[in-house]
Amino acid sequence: MNKTQLQTAIIEEFAPRFAPYARLIHRKRAKDTLALVDDDAWRKLGLPVGAQSRLPDVILYAPRRRRLYLVERGPISPARCRELEEMLGGTTVSRIYVSAFPSFREFSRNGGNIAWETRVWIAEVPDHLIHYNGGRVTPPRRRSKRKTG
C-alpha cells in the first residue's frame, strides 16, 4: 500500500469509525505539497500557515468536540510529538495523534518508536485502535456470563 492509498484509507476507513462528524481540512499530496480542503476552518483554528510541509499527512477536525485528529503515515515518535505540539501551540482545540500503518508487519518494525498518549491505526484491521496510554490505568475487561449446559 503506497502513501496515497493509505491516506485514502485513513479518510474512508479510519475517519468514519474513530472521528465521526470530523471534516478533512488537510491532506498532503505527493512530494509533501499541501492540499487544504477547508481554508476557513484552518484560519479559525489558528493553525500555522508557514509550516504545512511539516504537518502530518491527514488532519481531520471535529467541530462539536473541538478536536483535531493528526494522522501520520508511520510512527509519531516522542520527538515528532513534541515538534507538533510546539507547532500547534497557538490552537486551543484538543489534539489526537495517530500513527497509521498499512499492515501489522509495518507496525511491528516501528512499534518501539511511538510516543505515549498517542494512537495507532492499522489499515488491514480498520476496526481497531491501539492506545499508547502511558500512565493511565485501564480497568479489566468484563467477562461475559456464558450459559453452560
Element (H, E) at 68: strand 67-73
Contact 120, 129 (CB under 8 A): yes
Segment of 33-42, 53-62, 113-122 carrying the highest mean pLDDT = 113-122
pLDDT in tens, 69-80: 999 999 999 999
pLDDT in tens, 67-118: 999 999 999 999 999 999 988 887 889 999 999 999 999 999 998 899 999 9
- 90 by Cβ neighbours in 10 Å (0-12 / 13-18 / 19+) ranks as exposed
Residue 34, C-alpha cell as written in the block: 499541501
DSSP letter for each residue of 16-39: HHHSTT-EEEEEE-GGG-EEES-H
The pLDDT of residue 119 is above 60: yes
Q: How many CB atoms lie within 10 A of CB 132?
A: 15
The pLDDT of residue 53 is above 80: no
Q: How much is the pTM?
A: 0.83
The pLDDT of residue 51 is above 70: no
Q: What is the pLDDT of residue 33?
A: 56
Q: What is the pLDDT of residue 146?
A: 54
Q: How many CB atoms lie within 10 A of CB 133?
A: 12
Q: What is the pLDDT of residue 40?
A: 78
Q: What is the pLDDT of residue 111?
A: 86
Q: What is the pLDDT of residue 133?
A: 78
SS (H, E, C) 76-125: CCHHHHHHHHHHCCCCCCEEEEEEEECCHHHHHHHHHHCCCCEEEEECCC
Mean pLDDT of the chain: 84
Segment of 24-28, 36-40, 72-76 carrying the highest mean pLDDT = 72-76
Full set of structural domains in the chain with CATH? 3-132 (3.40.1350.80)
DSSP structure class, residue 126? T
Q: Radius of gyration (Cα) for the chain, nearest Å?
A: 17
